[in-house]
Amino acid sequence: MVCRKEPKREKLLGARAGQWPAFFAAAVPGAASLVPLIWLDARPRGGNEVAAVFPPWAGRERAFAQAIAAGGFVVREGARDWVLVVEGDPTDNGERLYASGAWLVIDPVAFGGCLTRSQGDAKS
């Protein structure tokens, strides 16, 4: 009777597990290098209109109220109820929206305009 020795499971898993640190060592800096590019693309470009992103649980009415309380004029709704395109004084519109509760104040055409609702999707 020939006794066949099975390979140890730990060694098999260990060989595969050793590949993960190398993957993360390459993926983390790659992903981190995208953050400044996204930030540069999303910054308001000095116009009167900005997209204000409020907390998702704020809802439409509360987002409108916060935007108006910041002294802005709501031009249109965004892709979600808590995203609004707001017109205001370009010198301090962003600061006032942040003070009223906005999470982000970005360029309304950033990310290809995907924060704004198309005409066919507009609510009545």
The per-residue pLDDT string of the chain (124 residues; one tens digit each, 9 = 90 and over) reads 566 666 555 554 444 555 667 777 778 888 888 777 766 666 776 678 888 889 999 889 999 999 999 999 999 888 888 889 999 887 888 889 999 999 988 888 776 665 566 555 555 4
- The alpha carbons of the chain give a radius of gyration, in whole angstroms, of 24
Predicted TM-score (pTM) of this structure: 0.62
What is the rounded CA–CA span in Å between residue 111 and residue 51? 12
Among residues 68, 63, 79, 85, which one has the least CA distance to residue 123? 79
User: In whole numbers, what is the pLDDT of the chain averaged over residues?
Assistant: 77
| Phi and psi, residue 67, nearest 5° | -65, -40
Question: What 3-state DSSP class applies to 36?
Answer: helix
